[in-house]
Amino acid sequence: MKWGQRSRSTVTKQIINFDNLKKPDKKNWYLAAPEHNELTVTPDLIVPIYNMSLKKLNQQWNTFVQSKRFTLSYSNKNNERQYVFRSFFFRFPDLLTVKLIPIDEKTSSLVMLSFALVGYYDFGVNKRRVNKILTNFENYIK
């Protein structure tokens, strides 16, 4: 691979069990979720509840992601998606898993977990990534 060229190696999907999530010993991850959730760990950031159905949130999220050209690793029928991001310099893979969740018939939210696959500490990269994506998404749906 030439200097500055993007790595094309594939990343194996990491299935995240949000129902039984455990906080790892590493400090290379960041979790965002709505205030009242069914997670077994406390989120690092509280995500708002959106005044739209799960179906509408799903449509909005898909359109938003397509405009940002995220690299999709996998998607399933449980409204979960995983995206691959690479560090700027060494191109280490980070994964962002997003789960869209219904609150009731007219409102919904999302859970977002971003983590590095390599290393113990991420120097705040995942926190900045989650905050930037959420800010951009909230501006997009206004």
pTM for the whole structure = 0.84
Name the class of domain 24-141.
alpha beta
Identify the pLDDT of residue 17. Answer: 79
Identify the pLDDT of residue 5. Answer: 38
Q: Walk along the chain (142 residues) and give the pLDDT tens digit of each residue.
A: 333 334 444 556 677 878 888 877 778 889 999 998 888 899 999 999 999 999 999 999 999 999 987 888 878 878 999 999 887 777 778 899 999 999 999 999 999 999 887 777 778 889 999 999 999 999 999 8
User: CA-to-CA distance for 80 and 89, rounded, in angstroms?
Assistant: 29
User: CA-to-CA distance for 99 and 134, rounded, in angstroms?
Assistant: 13
